[in-house]
Amino acid sequence: MANNSNVKLHIAMLPWFAFGHLIPFLELAKLIASKGHKITFISTPKNINHLPKIPQPLTPFITFIKLNLPKLQNLPENAESTRDLPSNKVKYLKIAYDHLKEPVVDILNTLSPNWIIYDFTTYWLGPLAAEHGIKTAYFSVFPAMALGYVGSPETLMHGDDEQRSLDDQDFVKKPKWVSFESQVKPSGFQLTKATEYAIADDENVSDFYRLGAAIQGSDVVIVRSCFGFEPEWLNLLKQLYKKPVIPAGLLPAVDNPDGNADWLETKKWLDMHEKGSVVYIAFGTETKPSQYELTQLALGLETSLLPFYWVLIDQRGSLDEVVELPSGFEERTRGRGVVCRGWAPQFKIVSHDSVGVLLIHSGMSSVVEGFQLGKPLVLLPLLFDQGLIASYLVEKKMAYIVRRDDVDGSFTPESVADSLSLVMASEEGKMYRDKAKEMMCLFGDRNVQDKCLNELLHFLQMSCKK
């Protein structure tokens, strides 16, 4: 094939309607657009309106197409992303998403992009795009270890020969296809929680089947990762998938210069505290702690006596049950703690010198943001994929995890307080503070990101016809 490295691509992108997916897709879109390629970004009106603004120099290269979701009986009106819904209603968003098949194909017919980059939910897209001569890439916002743990496309779609299932405790044992030493695994309680919405029913296709079919139907798999972070797992994916697997880089966050009106007030509060003394707590836009988890966490923060800034999601959509802080908690911690129930400028807050530790759920975007800014991590994973990421970070001694009962997930306020104190100030926790500074060289290195992006674009270009 001739050298196509100067070919300007047109790439369509269709992420899952969750902001933990929409934002990494948008970050990748901006990076690709910065190299002069054209992006068509497809989502719903409400989701697109809530995305961060595109930098002015990139606006000529990124076009947004808004698709309206069909009305479904069990899908609340105006629910267009997972943050609009309690977890038991998310399957109806997936069913509505599947109804977009025809309008998506119409868009592809009209635009004829070189590639479409899609998400795990769009398991039906690969064969349809191929029929129209459009190359396909599955982009995983999950790192390679989370993908490698659950196996090949065939295993995801049909089970392995041992017929393990999510409700089988053998699922927490190292899979037979992982030939190297690894401590990556979910906890039993995370496995139990996963069965609540990941298994198929009469209405909906399972998440595992969607993922397997999305991988199987793609020409290439793109992963939010890099070889400096998880080389063994990336190499394993190539063996499992029998197709190209290309890391897109870690997609480090970029500060939004516009900020928001509340930032000056937040900064004033942060400025009052000593360097490295504040705990920042956030669990992403998709993850809401249960009432039990919220109570234990709040009491742990109170016990720790540390200053904290907590971005709290206590309800997902109007139909969701509100979780409540312990009675009197905000009054007792007033002055040394802030509870923010709205949007917060996370990058600006975490960048501040007074923030010494992040207490997070192990979502990949939060992990990347913490490490690119050199902040040590205390992990409280709540869901299946978060448990896999957390176990890898603990195995590599990159982060510390709050101790929980493996079966029922119970934990004490003291375990929260002790974990924060250890990582923030103790001699025993110095290794995590040092490791976070070391990780800045990988997670925040724009040269590493640029190298991954250039290799990805080279592959996409060289795969196009002359």
Q: 416 and 269 in one domain?
A: yes
Q: 368 and 324 in one domain?
A: yes
Q: 454 and 389 in one domain?
A: no
Residue 130: CB partners within 8 Å, gap ≥ 6? 136, 217
Kindly report, residue by residue over 106-122, the tens digit of the pLDDT.
999 999 999 999 999 99
Q: 173 and 281 in one domain?
A: no
At 3 the pLDDT is 46
Token pair for 393:
């970070």
221 forms beta bridges with 138, 245
Tell me the C-alpha distance between 34 and 222, whole Å: 18
Beta strands in 251-382 (DSSP E): 278-282, 308-311, 337-340, 355-360, 377-379
* Domain contains 2: no
Tell me the C-alpha distance between 64 and 47, whole Å: 11
* Domain contains 308: yes
* Domain contains 5: no
Domain that holds residue 26: 10-252+445-462
Map 192-225 to HEC letters. HHHHHHHCCCCCCCCHHHHHHHHHHCCCEEEECC
Say if residues 123 and 217 touch (Cβ distance below 8 Å): yes
* Domain contains 258: no
Q: 237 and 225 in one domain?
A: yes
Number of domains forming the structure of the chain = 2
Chain centre distance of CA 329: 30
Tell me the C-alpha distance between 81 and 131, whole Å: 29
Residues of the chain above pLDDT 70, percent: 94
Q: 160 and 48 in one domain?
A: yes
Q: 53 and 144 in one domain?
A: yes
Q: 269 and 248 in one domain?
A: no
At 287 the pLDDT is 86
How many residues does this entry show for the chain? Answer: 466
Question: What DSSP designation does 334 have?
Answer: B
At 180 the pLDDT is 95
pTM for this entry:
0.94
The CA-based diameter of the chain, rounded to the nearest angstrom, is 69
Q: What is the mean pLDDT of each run of 10 residues along the chain (466 residues)?
A: 69 97 97 98 97 95 97 91 91 95 95 97 96 96 96 90 57 89 90 69 86 97 97 97 98 77 89 96 89 96 97 84 93 94 91 97 96 98 94 97 93 97 96 96 94 97 77
- Return the residue matching tokens 């207490």: 359
Q: What is the CATH number of the domain that holds 59?
A: 3.40.50.2000
Q: 222 and 175 in one domain?
A: yes
* Domain contains 4: no
311 forms beta bridges with 282, 340
Crossing angle for the helix pair 291-304 and 413-425, to the nearest 10 degrees: 50
Say if residues 98 and 87 touch (Cβ distance below 8 Å): no
Q: 384 and 338 in one domain?
A: yes
Q: 320 and 216 in one domain?
A: no
Q: 160 and 32 in one domain?
A: yes
Kindly report, residue by residue over 273-294, the tens digit of the pLDDT.
999 999 999 998 888 899 999 9
* Domain contains 432: yes
